[in-house]
Amino acid sequence: MLAPDGNAFNCIQLKNDFLQIEVMDWGATWISCKIKRENGWQEVLLGCDLEDYPAQKAYLGASIGRYANRIAQSQFYLNETTFQLNSNQGKHQLHGGKGFDQKRWNIKSQGKDFITFSHFSPHNDEGFPGNCTIECTYRLSYNLVRIEYTALCDKDCPINLTNHAYFNLQEAKKGCDVRYHYLQINSDHFLPVDNEGIPNQPLKNVTNTAFDFRRTKSISQNFGEEEQLLTQGYDHSFLLNPNVPFAAKLSCANGLSLTLQTSQTAIQIYTGNFLKGTPTRGKKQYENYYGIALETQALPDTPNHPEWWQYGGITKANKPYHHWTNFIFEET
């Protein structure tokens, strides 16, 4: 089977006694994550057959860039210049347009417990300024997957890289309603958005709202309330509290949990509100809410909000960009 560039997909497996993951060079994509349990290996990552990755629209496990999330009106103003980007979600740009998820990455280096992919994004790629070199490293330790993104651009540019993996700790192969998982987020503020996912208010305190996950609660509790009415569920960014031991924790009744640690300042929580029709492994289809994406990143539309630049999203010319996220799996 061939990718859109006419070459084969290259898949690489990393494994130990507790975890085994599989990644591929198309989109620097995380395509499988299995945990060793009493009854065998359990898949916890949504995925599809290799040939379906280029066509699916859910960004399953893909590396996202140059700018994850949305940029309003597909434009931004920087250094006294207005930059017009390529639109791919109505009049807005989502996940970098025809972004890094749709490109062939090179395998730069690999070892027993890691692999590093690299990609070059030329000046004016999807409208972004500067020549940019990006690297993505997947590293495996006993119960931890670490994803690191680095970038270097020769012009000031919005850069916001993330992985778009969807998790279901109960049933990732066929899918099941992830709203019955439990979630905790170390965040006092979330960002309201309109029905197109564009921020339309300042950061808002989570106190006494459906967005308060500071204590663990079922995702189904308060689901579809308040600002979620515009997005058919959670598709919102949470500004992470500084100096906390973890950013978010997902768990379910079968005893599995996933804890995220990150250098990023925010996390986008997306409950798979529009997953319906996305292919599974084996040519079936996922339904809405069958997976949850926990995307560590800067705030959406930051290029148009200088008041949020303090939280990342704009990288100066020739200044290294570097962020990491740890995905820690545990069984109770």
Catalytic residues: 164, 295
Q: Which of 270, 263, 326 is nearest to 297 (CA)?
A: 263
CA distance 155 to 123: 9
Q: Are 162 and 68 in contact (CB under 8 A)?
A: yes
Angle 71-75-78 from CA coordinates, rounded to 5° = 105
Which H or E element spans position 121? strand 114-121
CA distance 215 to 147: 26
Alpha-carbon torsion 310, 117, 75, 187, what sign? negative
The shares of helix, strand and coil residues in the chain, as percent rounded to the nearest 5, are: 10, 45, 50
Cβ neighbourhood burial of 214 (10 Å; 0-12, 13-18, 19+): middle
CA distance 33 to 14: 10
Question: Contacts by 281-284 with C-beta closer than 8 Å and gap 24+?
Answer: 281/47, 281/48, 281/49, 281/173, 282/49, 282/173, 283/49, 284/174
Q: Are 166 and 60 in contact (CB under 8 A)?
A: yes
Angle 92-167-23 from CA coordinates, rounded to 5° = 85
